[in-house]
Amino acid sequence: MIKIQDAYIEYLSKIEDEIKQTNINAANLVSLNNKIKKTELLIPVVGGFSSGKSTLINSFLAMDILPTNLTPETALATELRYSATDEHIEAVKEDGSVDRFEINQNDKIKERASNYQYLRMYINSDKIKRFEPLILVDMPGFDSPLDLHNQAILDYLNRGIYFVVLTSVEDGGITKSITRELRNITEFGKGFSFCLSKTNLRPTNDANDVKQRMEQQLKEEFDIATNVVLVDDNGGENLNKILTSIDSEALFEKVFLDSLKALYSEIESAINTTIATHKHTKEEVLNAIEELKQSINKITDKRDAMKREAKDRYSDISSERIISAVAKELADNQETLVNLALRDPNAFSQEANEIIKSRLIYEVRSTIESISSDVISDFSIELSSMSNSLGDFSIDDSWIEKLSETTKQVLESAQAGLIKLEDITKKKDGNLYKVITSILGITTSVVTPVLEVIIVFLPEIISFFTGKLKENNAKNEMTKRLHSEIIPRLKGELRKTIPNIFNNQVSILIESISKQFESQLKLKKQEIKTASEEKEKALIDSDNAIKELKKIKNNIQSLTTETIYEGVQQ
């Protein structure tokens, strides 16, 4: 474990010891603690097919463990994990089940590659162990078959935390394809290092010229001043330097800091409510419980109303805007698409897929963020009347505002490892770490099935392009067809798929945010009820209880200031 991971686990252990002295529910704390203990930081190594990814990793490991003779059709993402005594490969299927293979059985895996989503390779390597919890992932090339590439890159845009990007010196610069993938990576809030591979194939001066060109491209495209790392056919030491330079402490903090702050806010609020309950009469407590019941009903009613209105209010308008944006992006790239269609249908398909994917990611992500903010605001407004009557129980405007802000922050910044929204809606219970998931997961839940439809449609686009063209005017005819037939037909296909998919995800989003608000209201109701029962049964003296709760609150506040707000990295 790394320093900050240990610090967070120790912090939560101390908080749990404090909470044990109360009747406050610690389920969220336990859930978060388990996630922190199990979290890995995936570092995908990405680039075009045959850009040298596997060769680079093999050089780093000083062993030829990854096959370098795979075809694009059989390449699978491979996560490299440490095992001192049991070296093997787990081939993971779509349903999460695995087939086990020996390390030397790559040919058997290759024969059945279409059955698997990705591989987990367990090897006895001190270098793999040294960099834990960083997990290297050897990715399929960007020019793999579209279904495999889309599946892999979208999955690891969610799960990956930092990317190592390779492009061959033979490309002469950063291609449009790589630029779009970098844009997707940055859109998901992930960082990257950039490597120029196969430099042994060019004279040193030529390689340095390409390096400078790429650094200028990165500055112009992403406003990033970065050093492009030169990698030859024995570049393992370069990868070692990149991994060493990655600040795993900062990455780990990025994953969990908002969740830890949210947990502290929840615990502090629970203590405040418990203290307030000891100061009120039984009648006032019963009124508060009834008010909370009514508020839960309001949230439920609001949720149902919002889900009924979601299609007209969100899905239809947003879907049409997304479709128009994708069509415009294709039109803006008409010259490239037409030229590719004339000489290489496969290259055309790759380019069209990347254009559509990149635009979809941006549009869907920004739209979902806007809708989630709107939904949270609506639920907050619905609870505003409650704050007037329950302020004495520390359930006031500031509590509602903090709940809303916490929900929004975690929704926006939650990283890999949190459950998908579809899994949440099947559960009866709900809390911050079960209910709120990453916007990233929602984005890919929309984008992935849309791209599957596009892939099926691409051959039809090719036939539109190539049918009965006059040789002397093919380019002009193709351009006309792009605007008059292909883009309108594509928009029609998107209209058949995007609204239903998008509406389903918006409905899931509303349901999940609703459960977060409901769960917090139920917690408040239980906190008040438990404290009142203790007081009613005369199990404890209220004055002493309040004094003890304030002491616990101060202890937790000090622990949180030291670990969360001042931080463990000096």
DSSP letters spanning 142-167: TTS-HHHHHHHHHHHHHHBSEEEEEE
Provide the 8-state DSSP code for 227.
P
CA distance 75 to 518: 45
Tokens of 517: 């608000």
Q: How far is CA 535 from CA 282, 526, 541, in A?
A: 9, 14, 7
Q: Which amino acid makes up residue 48?
A: G
**Collapsed DSSP state (helix, strand, coil) of residue 141:** coil
pLDDT at 540: 62
Q: Which residues of 449-483 are buried (b: 16+ CB within 10 A; e: fewer)?
A: ebbeebbebbeebbebbeeeeeeeeeeebbeebbe
Distance of CA 259 to the CA centre of its chain: 15
Are the beta carbons of 160 and 44 closer than 8 angstroms?
Answer: yes
Q: Give the CA dihedral 290, 295, 300, 306, nearest 10 degrees.
A: 160
The DSSP H or E segment spanning 119 is strand 118-123
Backbone dihedral region of 394: left (phi > 0), alpha (psi from -120 to 50 degrees) or beta?
Answer: left
**pTM (2 d.p.):** 0.86
CA distance 344 to 205: 33
Q: How many CB atoms lie within 10 A of CB 84?
A: 11
pLDDT at 411: 63
Provide the 8-state DSSP code for 103.
T
The DSSP H or E segment spanning 121 is strand 118-123
Partners of 135 in beta bridges = 42
Question: Which contacts qualify for 484-489: CB closer than 8 Å, 24 or more apart?
Answer: 486/461, 487/327, 487/330, 487/331, 489/460, 489/461, 489/464
The DSSP H or E segment spanning 78 is strand 77-82
Question: Among candidates 433, 442, 438, which has minimal Cα distance to 415?
Answer: 438
Which domains, and CATH codes, for the chain?
1-38+247-279+540-570 (no CATH), 41-246 (3.40.50.300), 309-529 (no CATH)
pLDDT at 356: 94
- Residue 470 has φ and ψ, to the nearest 5°, of -80, 125
CA distance 437 to 410: 8
Q: Per-residue confidence of the chain (570 residues) as pLDDT tens digits?
A: 789 999 999 999 999 999 999 888 888 899 889 989 988 899 999 987 778 888 899 999 999 888 876 666 667 899 999 999 999 999 999 888 999 999 989 889 988 888 898 999 999 999 999 998 999 999 988 767 788 788 888 889 888 999 999 999 999 999 888 899 999 998 888 899 999 999 999 999 999 999 999 999 999 999 988 899 999 878 889 999 999 999 999 999 988 888 899 899 999 999 999 999 988 888 999 999 999 999 999 999 999 999 999 999 999 999 999 999 999 999 999 999 988 888 888 888 889 999 999 999 999 988 988 998 899 999 999 988 887 788 888 898 889 998 888 777 666 654 333 333 333 334 444 444 433 444 557 788 889 999 999 998 888 888 877 666 655 578 888 888 889 988 999 999 999 999 999 998 898 888 888 888 898 899 899 999 988 887 777 656 788 889 999 999 999 999 999 999 886 444
- Cβ neighbours for 220, distance < 8 A, ≥ 6 positions apart: none
Strand runs labelled E in 156-262:
162-168, 191-197, 229-230
SS (H, E, C) 378-400: HHHHHCHHHHHHHHHHCCCHHHH
Question: Among candidates 198, 72, 74, 44, which has minimal Cα distance to 143?
Answer: 72
pLDDT at 436: 41
Starting at the edge strand found earlier in the chain, the sheet holding 229-230 runs 98-101, 88-92, 118-123, 77-82, 134-138, 41-47, 162-168, 191-197, 229-230
Are the beta carbons of 2 and 133 closer than 8 angstroms?
Answer: yes
- Cβ neighbours for 466, distance < 8 A, ≥ 6 positions apart: 341, 345
Are the beta carbons of 42 and 137 closer than 8 angstroms?
Answer: yes
Tokens of 439: 């916007």
Specify the residue for token string 């390449």: 75
CA distance 485 to 488: 6
Are the beta carbons of 541 and 279 closer than 8 angstroms?
Answer: no
Triad 496, 501, 504: Cα angle to 5°:
135
- Element counts in the chain: helices (H) and strands (E): 22, 9
CA distance 105 to 88: 9
CA distance 372 to 136: 33
The DSSP H or E segment spanning 286 is helix 282-310
Q: How far is CA 285 from CA 290, 387, 449, 545, in A?
A: 9, 15, 50, 17
**Collapsed DSSP state (helix, strand, coil) of residue 122:** strand
